Every structure is written in structure tokens, then in C-alpha cells.
A = this chain, B = another copy of it.
Amino acid sequence: MKNQKVTQTKKPTKERIFEVSLDLFSQKGYDRVSVREIAREVGIRESSIYNHYKNKEAILDAIIDYFKSELNQSSIPEGEGEDLIDKGPEVFFNVGAKLYIDRINTPEMEKIWRLISIETYHNDKMREFFKKELLEEPLNVWENNFQIMVDKKMIKPVNPRTLAYEYFSFVIFLFFEYFVLKYDDDFDSFMDLALDRIKNHTEFMLDAIKIY
């Protein structure tokens, strides 16, 4: 409280650099944002940036680290998956959808998703992260779940890997459509746009695989 006498709640400079960088990176991409620009927006000189971050890339790394830690917090608790499956495919699909949406729930996370979408295209580190953590790992989880459902005869005996692709490719498509194609068109959040579409998708899939 000592340094915040009046109305102004002054954030540490390092935090302001983080926020401004995220804003700019997510709008224009890492390459198209200069250190000068960040400094100007923060209200300091470029050279001062280097008192807080080793270099420009270190800012990006900090953002991704933040993203990873947030992602871990919203993941499924170990072992709870199978209990959920027993409640039937409907429930499982709904919880699954909610899980994705929860990971994009704040403005910060939405910006970082956008940033990752951009940088996946020309940043090797980012592409590997996307491939492993955001694509292969979820695909494996879904395949495993479908396998269990098939084994328990809760759904038709379709190849679980195929089902995983059928389910998840639509999710990736939604991300692509929202974070790449529509990002500047309007300011609806991902949630508003995605909920109905995911509902249609899960209903279609349920109809396709449920046992009457």
C-alpha cells in the first residue's frame, strides 16, 4: 500500500511489458512488433526493456510459460476420466466441450491462443508445442476414451482413432476459423461463437455412434 497512495494502482513495469507485448503480439504477430513499439506503448525507452527481459524472445517465452501453467490448471484430474465415461457418451461429450471452452475463458488466454495460432506457422519451438501438447495429446486422450466406450459396448464398434479424428478435427477447425479467419471481424468471444456449433457437432456424432 505504501506506493499506491492515490487512485492509481501502478503495476510493476515488468508486468506492463508482458501485457503490452501480449496485446501487440496477438494482433500483429511476433515478428511485426518491434521492441521500440512495446517500449512506446509501455511508456518507457527501448533500452529499459532489457532491464526486465534478456531480449525480445524472452518476453515471448514468458507468455508461453504462463499459457502452459494455465492449461495445466484446467485439465482433467487424473483418473476421473473413466468415472465420467460411465455416465454415458452424452455427458462425456458435454464435459469434454466444457473443458476446451474453459481453457479460453479469459481475455488473456484468448489472446495467447491467437498468438500461438500465428506463431505455429513459423516458429519451430511453437510448432512442436502445438503438435505435441495441443494436437497429439488430446487425440490420444479421445482415442483412449472412445476405446473404452467401444469395449463397454456403449457405442458402435468404430475404430477409436477414426472417432478421435472425427471429433477433434472439428474442434481444430473451430479454432482456426475463430482465431485466424475471424479474429478482427467482430469481438464476440470464442465461447459465444463456439457453443452452438459444438453442440451441433456432438449431436451429429452421438447420432452416428450411439446404439439404439
What per-residue 1/0 map shows which CB atoms of A164-182 lie under 8 Å from chain B?
0110011011101100110
B122 touches A118 (CB 8 A): yes
0/1 interface trace, chain A 7-42, chain B, CB 8 Å (1 if under): 000000000000000000000110110000000000
How many copies of the shown chain assemble into the complex?
2
- Of the listed stretches A44-52, A84-92, A143-151, A201-209, chain B binds A201-209
* Residues 121-155 of A contacting B (Cβ, < 8 Å): 121-122, 127, 130-131, 135
A173 to nearest B CB, angstroms?
Answer: 4
Asked whether, in the complex, the Cβ of B162 is within 8 Å of the Cβ of A204, the reply is yes
The answer, among B122, B163, B177, for a CB contact under 8 Å with A32, is: B122
Tell me the bound Cα distance from A121 to B180 in angstroms: 6
Would A181 and B130 count as touching, CB distance under 8 A?
yes
Complex: how many Å from CA A185 to CA B28? Answer: 27
- Is there contact, CB below 8 Å, between B181 and A173? no
| Given A127-B181, A135-B181, A207-B208, 6 further pairs, Cβ under 8 A | A31-B31, A120-B180, A121-B121, A162-B204, A165-B200, A166-B201
A-B CB contact pairs (8 Å), 12 listed? A28-B122, A29-B122, A32-B122, A120-B180, A121-B121, A121-B180, A130-B181, A135-B177, A158-B204, A162-B201, A169-B169, A172-B173
